[in-house]
Structure 1
């Protein structure tokens, strides 16, 4: 019996340790964009494509939307932590080598709930890429269960910063 390979991989992300995300924008057909995240390198490939790079540990939201002549065929959002050398990761289309997926949501109604949670985090005065990774896992789990996620408050953020300080 052959065991299929695990989606978790261990290897060096790239020679420079960066995670690369390929972005495409073909008006009303394919739109891949970064909703939040600190881009370390932004390379324009052509008028429709860019490649952005993130340093290890960076958290970013990657939105993918596609349509045909009849309307939307796919919409999804992934919130990902870029991995460093020898860290386990999960592969993800258009993300090389992959990352630690904190949230993975498909379907426009649920994607819009995630976008609202991101907006609420920003409204609380916190940059979403600085929010606790566990918050994004919480948002994914609550939306999957059909429940409203708890808001990320400045108090929660201060608690996360203290926890990170103690663990670090």
Structure 2
């Protein structure tokens, strides 16, 4: 970032004022039946309203969230995508992602409405097992990504799998 700017001159748009707080910021927009970006799950640490249709939600390092993007034009859907992302700490490497600053550790990236619908069903199944999806094992979201990408049904995330994940996390420290 260029700090030689004259006092009062800002760069970087809506994210510039937020860039130094160590959080991952996601711009969500809702323009009914045109552009719909929303968070399907995740623990929001901060929520800033920019306009009637746009806000920036922020996540602490390590938080896992699902970001859904859908857009259409006069001819139909042009973008249908879901990403499950782990927010990164300031010193961690990350992958850039539109509308996410600085970026994150992408656990799942699926495009196309039929496959996005499968991911949403997998999220519903995690909730049905009594687990908050943001607490599920990151490896589960990688598994869901790989299985759906290959055209297969992902395995269910069960209470037993979750207990195993919690024990593994405890051992790994």
Q: Same fold (TM over 0.5)?
A: yes
Structure 2's unaligned 5+ residue stretches are: 1-17
Tell me whether 1:157 sits opposite 2:169 in the alignment: no
Which of the pair has more CA radius of gyration? 2
CA deviation map 1:105-158 (0-9, x unaligned): 000000000000000000000000000000000000000110000000000000
- Which is strand-richer, 1 or 2? 1
What is the aligned residue count?
156
Task: Name 1:62's counterpart in structure 2.
Answer: 67
Structure 1 length normalisation: TM-score?
A: 0.91
Counterpart CA distance in 1 for 2:169 and 2:29 is 35
Give structure 1 regions of 4+ aligned residues with deviation exceeding 4 angstroms. Answer: none
Tell me whether 1:114 sits opposite 2:114 in the alignment: no
Superposition RMSD in Å:
0.9
Give the superposition deviation at 1:53. 0.2
Counterpart CA distance in 2 for 1:61 and 1:17 is 19
Task: Find the partner of 1:17 among 4, 18, 22.
Answer: 22
Q: Which structure exhibits the higher relative contact order, with contacts defined as CA atoms closer than 8 Å and separated by 6 or more residues? A: 1
Give the superposition deviation at 1:70. 1.5
Bigger drift between 13-22 and 102-111 goes to 13-22
